[in-house]
Structures are given as C-alpha cells and as structure tokens.
C-alpha cells in the first residue's frame, strides 16, 4: 500500500539534502562555458569583436541567416520578393516575433536596425550606397528600394560574422551608432534572454531560455533554421588562465571551452570525459597584411615578391603544429566555400626564394628594412612573424622584426607614420573564414585608399572588380568576377593568405548538439 507520509518524508529529505549540497534540478540544464574572452561590451553593432558577435547571437535574431552550405535562408523573415528589375525588395516578417519585454517585433524596428548596422559595417555601407530608401509598408512588411541592382542584398542581411545585422527594437536602434546601447536596452527577440541582474563583468554573463521564442519549423542548419533551445540557462564564465580552464573542465566544473589552446589539445584529447569538436569546418585564415603606402610596399612587384617567397605550410606548422588542425589552401576566399578558387595562384605561395629574389632585383628593391610587427602575447599568432621574417630574408629582404603585445600592435597598425618613426610595413593576423567569403565582405580586399582598412591599399582596378561583384546578381558571373579579381590581385596583392586553421571546442561528453557554423551558438545544444 502506498504510504503517503513515508513518501513525503523521503521527498522532503531528498530535497533537503539536495539543498544542503547545493544541487537543484535546474542546475542539470545549466551549461557553463568558457568563451575566448570575457564580455565587456554589450552592443554587437558598436564593435566588431567576436565575443560581442557571439553575445549578439544569444540575445538578438537576424532577418536572414547562413546555413552550413553558405546559402542565405530567411530567419525572422517569413517571405521576401524582389521585383523583376531587381530594384524593389519586399520583406515580410514571421508571425509571433516578440521582443523579450513582450512587445511585438515590427517592420519599423527592422528598418531602424538596418540603418544603425549599416552605419557601422563596411558591407552595410556598401549596400546602402545602392539603396534609395527603406520604406515601412505595414507592421510586418518593409521595402528596400534600390537606386541600382545590387547583388549582395541577401548576403549582407544574412552576414554571419562581424558586424552581424541584428534586429533591435526601434528605440534601441535609434541610439547613435557611435555610442554603445545602454544595459537596459539589451533586449532582443532571440532565443536567449540576457540576465542583466546576474551579469558580473570579469566573472560571468548569464542567459536564460526565451520561453516565448518561436523557432522556425525547419531543422537547425548552420545559423539558419529552427533555433530550438534545449537548455534552461547558459553561463559564460570568465576564466583567463588556459591551464585553469583545462583543470576546470577535467574536474567537471565547466562543460565547454570555446577555444582551448592548440598546445593543450593533446592533454584534453587523452581525457575520456572530454571530446574535441570542430564546429567550424571552414575555420580561420592567417593573413600577412602590407602597408601599401610605405616604401617599398607601395611597389606592387615587391609585394608580389613576398607572395612568391612565402610557403604556407611553414607558417601552419610553426603555429598550429598538428596537421589535423590546419590546411594548406591557396584560395583567398577560403577552401570549402562557394567562391574558393586557385585561379592565378599557381606561381605563388610555393616558397620560391630564387624567383622572389629575381623579382626584387627587377623591382629595384633598395634594401629598406621591412618593419614587421610581431605580436607576442597571443599564442595563435606568436610564431607567424618569425616564419615570415625567415622566408623574406631568404628572398633577399632586410627585415626588422619588432616585438610587442597585441594591443600595442592594434594601436600601431592604424598609424600612417613612416615605418621607422612609429609606423609599420607589415603584420600578421587571422580572420574567421565567415568574414572573408567574398571580395566585398573581406575587409583586406578593400582598396579604396584612405577609406580602406589599415594598410590603405589604393587600387582602382580592385575597386572596380569589387563594385562589379556587388552589383552582379548572377552567381555564375559573380564567380567569374572573383576569378578575374584574384588573377589581378596576385600581382597587386593587398595582403597574403598564409594558411587555413581550425580551433575545436572542448566539451564534456554529456554535452551534444553543437551546430556546424562559423559562430559558436547554443541553441540545439543538449546537456545530459
């Protein structure tokens, strides 16, 4: 016979014990993650830093999103049409979209959000150059009227990486694009809700499941599809010390590390409770950036000589080491993506020092020392500059490698001073592949002189190709433009891609469901 009193006592005892031990049923569904950095800034439009982008995907939603195969699919948008002359785009929002404060998402919100994003993002600025106006039709519909056909409308609105066009309430989106939004305005319509009262900078940032979120009916695919949240709470724990991160995941205190150092991967892979997962198969690309305004790199032939002198494998072995996590790939728009091509690349990146030397002689290189900035505090970048120095010296360059921390490099690379007076000739960095999928998106291809990114290349032909690409609506012709651009760019490089690399996440074996995407997202993730 069922003894109610005994059962009740047992339940009370179990609950008390659980309480004493600090165990609550909800804790089983709390995912504790160490991301690559602490979240300091809450506005993903104000900065292009990746941690803010990742934070953005938790809180806000996007009109369109990119799937695993780099196709752009509607996300907040239910349906869209484009007029036969490609001059009018009409977007209709899905039913049931709601901000975290319970107000409905409207077309007005989206128009204001697009304007703020476009004020900050180079791809957005390019698109808005072809936009006549944005017009609200009704609460759920808005139009984008174009001055001229533009081939990258969907790619721009579905841009997967920084800056992502996140949709915000009109009041928030009307914040000056040069100012951060306020903490109380961190209200989105995305799958998670930011817990302002639990945010402790330097300690943790907390998101809870948005129970009112209506996912799309399609299965999750890349950043598109149904954003079904299978956790109650996600905590991003700030833990700067990598050794401590490893100890904490081994001890079960955290569930996942977004970006464990490559030198610690062998240690993690030996632990049977931990699994390494490469959620981003296109990974990242190392890049050598020229200052095209500083002699001798104002001479395209000398820049080309560096291209000829470099060999990717040396860079990758020196930094990543394990071939599982790198790929020799000559395609500047990243191997495995729709615009990947080796066109024009046959004679470069082969480590041909003799040919490079000959090119230098022909170009009249006068022995000016190349000021190569070497960042020493970021493990994934530290060994790149010494390899570049060695390969350039073999080709006959004189190289003055200047070591500094990354933030000093970041400050120095925006200076146009002469290289021997606080300026620079070159440095190495890394891009997430999702940021460089086409010549408009890839910032280092921007060759619009002073308006270009640091390095300030000034090349009308490259700009002409980029404009043609942006305005071309036929994907086949777009690919042809990319091939033509690439053949020209090899001889007139703005930068050099020196290899593709991957950074797996480390997760406890009871965690599953990380989506294949260029950004670590937490919908679909389960914790057993």
Residues that bind another protein (CB under 8 A): 22, 38, 40-42, 46-50, 52, 120, 122, 162-163, 178-180, 182-183, 200-203, 237-241, 243-244, 247-248, 250-251, 253, 404-405, 407-408, 410-414, 429, 431, 435, 443, 450-454, 456
- Cα–Cα distance measured from residue 249 to residue 244, given in angstroms and rounded to the nearest whole number: 9
CB 113, min distance to another protein, A: 18
Q: What is the dihedral of CA 503, 506, 510, 515, to 10 degrees?
A: -20
By beta-carbon proximity to another protein, the closer residue of 40 and 398 is 40
- Cα–Cα distance measured from residue 63 to residue 105, given in angstroms and rounded to the nearest whole number: 11
Q: ∠ CA 339-341-347 to the nearest 5 degrees? A: 150
By beta-carbon proximity to another protein, the closer residue of 248 and 485 is 248
By beta-carbon proximity to another protein, the closer residue of 256 and 308 is 256
| Strand-strand pairing, 204-209 and 192-194 | antiparallel
By beta-carbon proximity to another protein, the closer residue of 91 and 427 is 427
- Under DSSP, the state recorded for 36 is S
Bridge partners, 428 (sequence order): 288
By beta-carbon proximity to another protein, the closer residue of 124 and 151 is 124
Do the beta carbons of residue 486 and residue 341 sit within 8 Å? yes
Q: ∠ CA 324-525-218 to the nearest 5 degrees? A: 105
By beta-carbon proximity to another protein, the closer residue of 314 and 459 is 459
Do the beta carbons of residue 260 and residue 491 sit within 8 Å? no
By beta-carbon proximity to another protein, the closer residue of 50 and 286 is 50
3-state secondary structure of 108: helix
How would you list the strands of the sheet with 284-290, edge to edge?
326-327, 495-501, 284-290, 426-432, 370-375, 399-404
Contacts of 492 (CB under 8 A, 6+ apart): 300, 303, 304, 459, 461, 462
CB 414, min distance to another protein, A: 5
**How distant, in Å, are the alpha carbons of 70, 73, 211 from that of 87?**
24, 20, 39
SS3 for 378-426 is CHHHHCHHHHHHHHHHHCCCCEEEEEECHHHHHHHCCCCCCHHHCCCCE
Do the beta carbons of residue 288 and residue 372 sit within 8 Å? no
CB 36, min distance to another protein, A: 13
Strand extents, DSSP E, 16-87: 30-34, 61-62, 64-66, 72-74, 77-82
CB 396, min distance to another protein, A: 30
3-state secondary structure of 431: strand
CB 202, min distance to another protein, A: 5
First to last CA, the chain: 34
CB 412, min distance to another protein, A: 6
- Cα–Cα distance measured from residue 204 to residue 185, given in angstroms and rounded to the nearest whole number: 19
- Tracing tokens 């395209």 back to the chain, one arrives at 300
- Cα–Cα distance measured from residue 63 to residue 45, given in angstroms and rounded to the nearest whole number: 15
CB 23, min distance to another protein, A: 12
By beta-carbon proximity to another protein, the closer residue of 435 and 472 is 435
By beta-carbon proximity to another protein, the closer residue of 314 and 435 is 435
CB 457, min distance to another protein, A: 13
- Cα–Cα distance measured from residue 256 to residue 278, given in angstroms and rounded to the nearest whole number: 13
CB 270, min distance to another protein, A: 13
By beta-carbon proximity to another protein, the closer residue of 125 and 145 is 125
| Strand-strand pairing, 166-167 and 61-62 | antiparallel
CB 86, min distance to another protein, A: 28
By beta-carbon proximity to another protein, the closer residue of 79 and 171 is 171
By beta-carbon proximity to another protein, the closer residue of 329 and 452 is 452
**How distant, in Å, are the alpha carbons of 111, 318, 381 from that of 409?**
37, 21, 12
CB 473, min distance to another protein, A: 26
CB 238, min distance to another protein, A: 7
């Amino acid at each position: 016979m069922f003894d109610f009193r005994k059962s009740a006592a047992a339940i009370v005892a179990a609950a008390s014990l659980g309480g004493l031990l600090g165990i609550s049923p909800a804790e089983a569904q709390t995912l504790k993650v160490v991301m690559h950095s602490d979240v300091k800034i809450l506005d993903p439009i104000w900065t292009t830093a990746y941690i803010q982008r990742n934070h953005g995907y938790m809180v806000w939603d996007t009109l369109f999103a990119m799937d695993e195969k780099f196709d752009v699919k509607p996300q907040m948008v239910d349906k869209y049409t484009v007029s036969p002359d490609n001059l009018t785009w009409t977007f209709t929002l899905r039913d049931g979209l709601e901000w975290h404060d319970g107000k409905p998402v409207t077309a007005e919100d989206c128009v204001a959000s697009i304007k703020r994003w476009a004020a900050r993002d180079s791809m957005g600025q390019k698109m808005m150059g072809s936009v006549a106006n944005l017009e609200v039709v009704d609460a759920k519909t808005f139009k984008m009227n174009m001055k001229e056909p533009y081939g990258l409308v969907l790619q721009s609105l579905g841009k997967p990486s920084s800056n992502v066009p996140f949709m915000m309430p009109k009041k928030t989106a009307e914040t000056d694009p040069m100012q951060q939004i306020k903490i109380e305005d961190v209200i989105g319509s995305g799958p998670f809700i930011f817990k302002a009262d639990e945010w402790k900078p330097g300690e943790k940032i907390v998101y809870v499941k948005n129970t009112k979120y209506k996912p799309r009916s399609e299965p999750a695919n890349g950043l598109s599809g149904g954003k079904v949240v299978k956790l109650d709470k996600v905590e991003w724990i700030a833990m700067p010390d990598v050794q401590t991160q490893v100890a904490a995941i081994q001890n079960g205190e955290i569930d996942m590390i977004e970006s464990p150092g490559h030198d610690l991967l062998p240690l993690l892979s030996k632990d049977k409770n931990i699994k390494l997962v490469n959620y981003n198969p296109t990974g990242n690309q190392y890049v050598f950036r020229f200052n095209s305004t500083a002699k001798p790199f104002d001479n395209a032939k000398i820049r080309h000589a560096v291209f000829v002198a470099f060999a990717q494998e040396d860079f990758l072995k020196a930094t990543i080491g394990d071939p599982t996590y790198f790929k020799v790939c000559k395609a500047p728009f990243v191997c495995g993506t729709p615009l990947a091509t080796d066109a024009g690349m046959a004679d470069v990146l082969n480590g041909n020092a003799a040919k490079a030397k000959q090119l230098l002689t022909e170009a009249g290189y006068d022995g000016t020392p190349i000021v190569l900035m070497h960042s020493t505090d970021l493990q994934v970048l530290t060994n790149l500059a010494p390899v570049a120095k060695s390969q350039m010296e073999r080709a006959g360059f004189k190289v003055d490698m200047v070591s500094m921390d990354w933030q000093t490099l970041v400050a120095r690379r925006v200076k146009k001073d002469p290289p021997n007076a606080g300026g620079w000739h070159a440095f190495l960095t890394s891009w997430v592949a999702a940021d460089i999928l086409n010549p408009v998106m890839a910032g280092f291809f921007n060759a619009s002189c002073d308006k270009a990114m640091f390095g300030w290349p000034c090349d009308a032909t490259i700009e002409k190709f980029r404009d043609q690409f942006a305005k071309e609506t036929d994907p086949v012709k777009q690919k042809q433009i990319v091939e033509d651009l690439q053949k020209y760019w090899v001889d007139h490089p703005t930068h050099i891609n020196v290899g593709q690399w991957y950074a797996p996440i480390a997760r406890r074996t009871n965690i599953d469901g990380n989506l294949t995407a260029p950004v670590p997202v937490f919908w679909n993730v389960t914790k057993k």
